[in-house]
Amino acid sequence: METGNLVVEDRTLGRFLVHRSVHTDPAILALESERIFDRSWLYVGHESEIPNPGDFHTREVGGRPLLFCRDSDGKPRVLFNTCTHRGAQVCRERSGNARSFQCFYHAWTFNTRGELIGVPDAGGYGEAFRRDELGLKQPARVEAYRGLVFLSFDRNIVPLTEWLAGAREVLDVILDQGEQGMEVVRGTHEYSVRANWKLIAENSTDHGHGMPTHQTYFNLYLPAVGVELRGLPREFQCMSLGNGHAVMEYALPWGRPVAQWLPRWGEQSRVEIEAARQRLVERWGEPRARRIAELNRNLVIYPNLVINDIMAVVIRTFHPCAVDRMNVTAWTIAPIGEQRQSRARRLDNFLTFLGPGGLATPDDNEAMEACQRGYRAAGEVQWSELSHGMADRHGDIADDETLRAWWRRWAEQMAPAPASRRRLKRTRRPSAVDSKSYSPFF
């Protein structure tokens, strides 16, 4: 299938177009499985989710069933959740703690390192039977960055740190909120959206949709809790981070439990939050402390990981289950040892704005589903327009460069072999697309 003309960029004319068949054609989704999901680093989970030997979660990543567990020696592991005997899943529980995993079909048993330790009537097999070769298999590559565990099915992929490129620095800012480290709070949000998976990658750094789409939050909720919309800081920065990753970073006083106080939280919380802010200054200095405590950021790590560091820190992954449907999983991550009141405020923020029943996520889901419904006319209305900002900017709305960064990498990977198999080139230092002060909301 020809994929080279699905993303068109003309810098001379200042045009960037994406053909809408990328959201509707099952053949493209099949190619994405091979050329993107099989050749990228994909997020699995955070080490804090499996704190004890034997702890496990079953996950599906890149279309494969997985066991994310900590073995008896305390090492995090990622194993394919499929018996090497006849293929059944060896673990059918969502999470728990186990010393071993036994397949319910024929009782083959594996330890937490994936080694085959039990075979009924093993004497019935011949000399070619090799128990040491029949343990649970592992993905080609598994690496972690500051507790965030990723896998790749491509043995020849570049190291994770090289893949992350400039996203590493943004991850450091997010993860440095915790004086003792960060931990995933127990529990997940799981939901489906009737839209192509790539639309959430666009939505997550699409700055222009904020005020039009989330009017309930801005016009009703924020005033009700004492946040004045006028006179807010208008600082905003967009950055392409290399390898398809991008971030938008902005200062708005939503109230961030790490070190940003809101009157609705009460005077007793002020001392606690001011002390947390002072500790950040002592650790990192005032400029970095302010960035950690006061700046919000939406980070997209190509291809399918989003970290929203706004009212709370939320990790989202999204996987296609059909050309017009995706499954989304979200966790919130918080500082280890956070005071009980701060944790409660964090979770309230998480649910109020970012939860699937909150005041923003349903808006985003409906917007993406409305796009997908609109793509039924893709034969007649063929192109989506992502050109804003390629010419000189005259307004105060942020441009589409963060979206273009993702699509350029998508087009590179979707190019016919052998181009799609080239190793990533080392990227230059990320640079701000536009560091002047402006706002997409006000």
Question: CB of 6 within 8 A of CB of 22?
Answer: yes
* DSSP per-residue letters across 129-148: --GGG-SPP--SEEEEETTE
Compute how many other C-beta atoms are within 10 angstroms of the C-beta atom of residue 240: 24
Question: CB of 188 within 8 A of CB of 267?
Answer: no
Nearest of 441, 291, 415, 427 to residue 5 by alpha carbon: 415
Q: How confident is the model at residue 324 (pLDDT cuts 50, 70, 90)?
A: very high
pLDDT, position 132:
94
Share of the chain above pLDDT 70, in %: 90
**Domain 42-145: homologous superfamily in CATH:** Rieske [2Fe-2S] iron-sulphur domain (2.102.10.10)
Question: CA quadruple 240, 258, 274, 266: dihedral positive or negative?
Answer: positive
Cα dihedral value 123, 126, 131, 135, nearest 10:
-110
The rounded distance, in Å, linking the Cα atoms of 305 and 300 is 6
pLDDT, position 229:
66
**2: three-class secondary structure by DSSP:** coil
pLDDT, position 424:
47
Tell me the per-residue pLDDT of 370-407, one tens digit each, with 9 for 90 and over. Answer: 999 999 999 999 999 999 888 865 444 458 999 999 99
pLDDT at 144 over 60: yes
pLDDT, position 398:
59
Residues 6 or more apart in contact with residue 54 via CB below 8 angstroms:
69, 70, 72, 97, 98, 99, 112
pLDDT, position 251:
82
Tell me the per-residue pLDDT of 177-235, one tens digit each, with 9 for 90 and over. Answer: 998 999 999 999 999 999 999 999 999 999 888 878 888 887 877 777 777 766 555 67
Question: CB of 244 within 8 A of CB of 405?
Answer: yes
pLDDT, position 221:
76
pTM above 0.85? yes
Taking residues 331-344, what's their average pLDDT? Answer: 90
Rounded to an integer, what is the distance from CA 338 to the centroid of its chain? 23
Question: CB of 164 within 8 A of CB of 145?
Answer: yes
pLDDT at 275 over 60: yes
- Residues of the chain within CATH 3.90.380.10 domain(s) are 160-434
- Residues of the chain within CATH 2.102.10.10 domain(s) are 42-145
Taking residues 230-242, what's their average pLDDT? Answer: 75
User: How far, CA to CA in Å, does 440 sit from each of 87, 224, 297, 398?
Assistant: 51, 22, 14, 6
pLDDT at 438 over 60: no
Q: Give the chain's length.
A: 442
Token reading at 344: 């409660």
Tell me the per-residue pLDDT of 181-191, one tens digit each, with 9 for 90 and over. Answer: 999 999 999 99
Taking residues 334-360, what's their average pLDDT? Answer: 87
- What's the mean pLDDT when you consider all of the chain? 88
pLDDT, position 78:
98
The rounded distance, in Å, linking the Cα atoms of 51 and 69 is 9
Question: Was domain 160-434 assigned CATH 3.40.50.1370?
Answer: no
- Tokens 């989970």 sit on residue: 45
Share of the chain above pLDDT 90, in %: 68
How many alpha carbons fall within 13 Å on the CB side of residue 394?
1
Q: How confident is the model at residue 287 (pLDDT cuts 50, 70, 90)?
A: very high
